[in-house]
Amino acid sequence: MYVQLIITATAGLIALAVAALFAFEVMKADTGTAGMQSVAAAIKEGAIAFIKRQYSTIAVLALLVAVLIFAVFSFTGNTELAWHTAVAFLFGAFFSGLAGIIGMWVSVHANLRSAAAARTSLGKAVKIALRGGAVSGLTIVSLSLLGVAIIFTLLGANPQETPFVIVGFGFGASFIALFAQLGGGIYTKAADVGADLVGKVEAGIPEDDPRNPAVIADLVGDNVGDCAGRGADLFESTVAENIGAMILGVALFPIFGVNGVLFPLVAGSFGLLATIIGILSVTEKDGNNPDPMRGLNKGYYVTAFISMILFYVAVTWFLGNIWFFYAGLVGVGLSLVFVYITQYYTDSKYRPVQSIAKASVTGAATNIITGLSVAFETTGVSAIAISIALLLSYKLGEMSGVANGGLYGTAMATMGMLAPCAYILAMDTFGPIVDNAGGIVEMSGQNEETNRRIAILDSAGNTTKALTKGYAVGSAALSAFLLFNAYMTDITKLTGKAFEVVNLAQIPVFVGALLGAMLVFLFTSLAIRAVGETAQYIITEVRLQFKNPGILKGTVKPDYARCVDITTKGALKNMILPGTLVVLFPIIIGYLLKYEAMAAFLMVATIVGLLLALVLNNGGGAWDNVKKFIESGEYGGKGSEAHKAAVVGDTVGDPFKDTAGPSLHVLVKLLATITLVFAALYI
């Protein structure tokens, strides 16, 4: 038994235990008034109904893919590899689903407790929501580390071979992540758009008004999209990064032996321990600050700082080369830079949001035009930051004097960036928890002070959600290279000759690149359209219910469950086409154009996917905050022409930032694992 696996198991189990403690702490907190409880119960019921149906659908798809994997591998003659990979795939799919479900479970309980706490103290509400988020973050990251460690232990006869089987685990994780994020993203935004268009725009009732039949579906959406979806997303991010770095470690086997292969698990485990301290460092007092973001940021800095110290320990212990530690620092630096970029582009304090707000005065068209301009602009500094991080960590890796050290330098940067991943995930889940808490407070009718506290919480939640999306893109960009390298190593193994060149100057390779870029645009189109189509069902249903005059008068309770049910069916139906496209298209193109073209397909799809994700995430985030900025009284405030324009911008931004954008991160990583798993078909 390698010491690294013992470290991983220990850290993973400690993190699970702490998560259980946090869960216990959340569960025993006050559950507020009966009104609050009844709203929360409805949300919980809807979320569980969706997750049940969604995962049954996904399970069927996953079984089909497992059979496909088995068939493809058997076809290439390696039956043992065939069933190892198929089982690893199912195992990854199961763990990913589990991670998502746990995230959602905790969220639908923490929302009520956070709402209840907001009646007495902002700090208490922040703490409960963050602890709830931490349950999700710690569980997800420890499951990903434990999953990889378990497979490695079970199959670990040859540490130079095993990482290639773990690829199946990664594909399983990203397969589930795609459908979870896509289905959840369609659900959440279709419900949101549908509820807003009929409720706010047509009937003129406020957001989260209990008379709106789609309001529960909207609140359910926050959980299934943001918690279950992003949980599965970051689960597979850590898995994919671990696999990529482990395969790179195989290339360095002559130098570091098994230490190079297992280093990613150690780095992740230490990051997990750092996260626990970071979470504990955020006290009720921090949360009582008028701006709770300061408290949350403090926790992040603590986590990042301790991660770095432990990272230093890990590097000196297992690699004995200080340059790799410096490379790791580059990753931490990039994560901080991304935090600033995201804030600059989405916070109303700065020029971008203010320029969109100003443009809203002349109507919806100028709001959209300016918003799109800002959205496109965000790619500029982001791409430059990623470029510098890649080149610098590569250079630092080269300074190590180790052969292939450059690439291992970028791996270190990725690990550095992903070390505080569990904390980021906790902040991310914090978002939908407080969002839901807001809905519960609104629907159950609380006093002015509680509403004020909840508004502060809600705004902090929006910020944390935006930040984690930026972080997800940055880390995906850094880790992309590991996955390309893994694919090329795999092809080298399969063909027996070194595959080191992806020559874009060859027509078929260029065509591969073109089709990769196209897939990103086409997928975005289908994801956005799926939201529009699902929203149509909800609009029709809400209009139908509003025909009963008692509902708008507030004397008749609307049928929330029907809306939940219709949204569920619509989201699941409409996720199939884009989901299937991105699984089958690369397999077909790879089969037709062969492995070098496929590498270009993957690389250019990654570039375009990440840039477009930035456009969609930041654009959506900016539009959201433009609306809030105007609602705070600027340019005429609520009800003004500028506000109407801002509502249009916000609605356009919804499927950008919560469906298409996050699904694109997952798509990029799914493409990487698909090409890896089906590499044998491309020869």
Considering only residues 340 to 359 of the shown chain, the ones binding its own copies according to CB under 8 A are 359
Closest approach, Cβ 380 to its own copies, in A, equals 4
Quick note: the x/- pattern for its own copies over 368-397, rule CB under 8 A, is xxx-xxxxxx-xx-xxx-xx--xx--x---
Nearer to its own copies, 428 or 490 (CB): 490
Contacting range for its own copies; rule: CB under 8 A; set: 321-329, 443-451, 515-523, 556-564: 515-523
With CB under 8 A as the contact rule, which of the stretches 147-155, 210-218, 341-349, 366-374 interacts with its own copies?
366-374
Q: Closest approach of Cβ 483 to its own copies, in Å?
A: 12
Rank residues 157 and 505 by Cβ distance to its own copies and give the closer one: 505
Residue 402 interacts with its own copies (CB under 8 A): yes or no: no
Contact between 652 and its own copies by CB under 8 A: the answer reads: yes
HSE-up (13 A, CA, CB side) for residue 27 = 9
Shortest distance, position 604 Cβ to its own copies, whole Å: 6
444: Cα within 13 Å, side-chain hemisphere:
25
Select the span of 122-130, 339-347, 462-470, 508-516 touching its own copies (CB under 8 A).
508-516
User: In this structure, what token pair is assigned to residue 413?
Assistant: 């940067």
Is there binding between residue 521 and its own copies (CB under 8 A)? yes
Query: Is residue 246 within the footprint of its own copies (CB under 8 A)?
Result: no
* Residues numbered 551-570 forming contacts with its own copies, rule: CB under 8 A: none
Side chain identity at residue 390, one-letter code: L
Q: Does 18 bind its own copies (CB under 8 A)?
A: no
Residue 257 or residue 363: which is nearer to its own copies going by CB?
Answer: 363
651 binds its own copies (CB under 8 A): yes
Stretch of 143-151, 175-183, 216-224, 524-532 lying at the interface with its own copies (CB under 8 A): 524-532
Contact with its own copies (CB under 8 A) among 108, 315, 434, 488: 488
- Footprint on residues 431-450 left by its own copies (CB under 8 A): none
CB of 505 to its own copies, least distance (A): 5
Question: In this complex, which beta carbon is closest to its own copies, that of residue 87 or of residue 668?
Answer: 668
Instruction: Report which residue type is found at 680.
Output: A
Q: Which of 64, 201, 403, 683 binds its own copies (CB under 8 A)?
A: 201
State the Cα–Cα distance between residues 625 and 455, nearest whole angstrom: 13
Inter-residue contact 644 to 378 (CB < 8 Å): no
CA distance 562 to 566: 6
Shortest Å, Cβ 652 to its own copies = 5
For residue 343, the minimal CB distance to its own copies (Å) is 19
Please list every residue from 250 through 279 that binds its own copies, using CB under 8 A.
none
Q: Would you list the DSSP string of 138-179?
A: HHHHHHHHHHHHHHHHHHTT-TTTHHHHHHHHHHHHHHHHHH
CB of 517 to its own copies, least distance (A): 5
Instruction: Select 370 or 675, whichever has its Cβ closest to its own copies.
Output: 370
| 3-state secondary structure (DSSP) of residue 266 | helix
Question: Does residue 481 interact with its own copies by CB under 8 A?
Answer: yes
Nearer to its own copies, 166 or 648 (CB): 648
Cα separation, 195 vs 213, whole angstroms: 8
Instruction: Compute the least distance from the CB of residue 352 to its own copies, in Å.
Output: 10
86, 118, 276, 539: which one contacts its own copies (CB under 8 A)? 539
User: Should residue 636 be labelled a site residue for its own copies when binding is judged by CB under 8 A?
Assistant: no
Q: Which structure tokens are listed for 313? A: 């320990």
Tokens matching residue 58:
């996904």
- Hey, how many other C-beta atoms are within 10 angstroms of the C-beta on 138? 29
432-448 in b/e form (b: 16+ CB < 10 A) is bbbbbbbbbbbbbebee
Residue 649 beta carbon to its own copies: minimum distance, rounded to whole angstroms = 8
Q: Contact between 424 and its own copies (CB under 8 A)? A: no
Q: Which stretch binds its own copies (CB under 8 A): 208-216, 533-541, 632-640, 675-683?
A: 533-541
Which 180-199 positions form the footprint of its own copies (CB under 8 A)?
193, 197
CB of 502 to its own copies, least distance (A): 4
Taking CB under 8 A as the binding criterion, the range among 65-73, 75-83, 364-372, 411-419 that sits at the site for its own copies is: 364-372
Query: Residue 107 corresponds to which tokens in the numbers above?
Result: 């969220």
Q: Is 209 left (phi over 0), alpha (psi -120 to 50) or beta?
A: beta
Where is 672: in which H helix or E strand?
helix 661-677
DSSP state of 283: -
Q: Between vectors from CA 342 to CA 341 and to CA 348, what angle results, nearest 5°?
A: 105
Q: How far is the CB of 356 from its own copies (least distance, A)?
A: 10
Nearest to its own copies of 265, 598 (CB atom) = 598
Contacting range for its own copies; rule: CB under 8 A; set: 117-125, 128-136, 480-488, 552-560: 480-488
Q: Given the structure tokens 């960036």, which residue do they identify?
A: 417
Residue (390 or 667) nearer to its own copies, CB = 390
Per CB under 8 A, 491 contacts its own copies? no
* Cβ-based nearer residue to its own copies, 359 or 563: 359
Q: Does 478 bind its own copies (CB under 8 A)?
A: no
State which residue, 275 or 382, has the beta carbon closest to its own copies.
Answer: 382
Instruction: Indicate the length of the chain as a whole number.
Output: 683
Residue 387: its H or E element: helix 379-399
Name residues whose C-beta falls within 8 Å of residue 554's C-beta, 6 or more positions apart in sequence: 210, 211
Binding mask 589-628 for its own copies (x = CB under 8 A): ----------xx--xx--xx--x---x-------------
Pick the stretch among 89-97, 466-474, 489-497, 648-656 that binds its own copies (CB under 8 A).
648-656
Near its own copies by CB under 8 A: residue from 514, 561, 573, 640: 514
Cβ neighbors of 439 (< 8 A, separation 6 or more) are 39, 43, 111, 208, 215, 218, 219, 222
Angle, helices 560-631/661-677, rounded to nearest 10 degrees: 120
Contacts of residue 258, Cβ cutoff 8 Å, sequence gap at least 6: 2, 4, 159
Q: How far apart are CA 432 and CA 188, in angstroms?
A: 11
Q: Nearest distance from residue 213's CB to its own copies, in Å?
A: 17
Interaction between residue 410 and its own copies (CB under 8 A): yes
CA separation for the pair 425, 430 (Å, rounded): 8
376 burial via Cβ count (<10 Å: 0-12, 13-18, 19+): middle
DSSP per-residue string spanning 353-377: HHHHHHHHTT-HHHHHHHHHHHHHH
- Identify the CA nearest to 246 among candidates 486, 481, 476: 486
Nearer to its own copies, 132 or 244 (CB): 244
# residues contacting its own copies (CB under 8 A): 75
Cα distance between residue 130 and residue 140, in whole Å: 15
Answer yes or no whether residue 513 interacts with its own copies by CB under 8 A.
yes
d(Cα 677, Cα 587) in Å, to the nearest integer? 10
Residue of 176, 267, 531, 563 that binds its own copies (CB under 8 A): 531
Which amino acid, residue 45? Answer: E
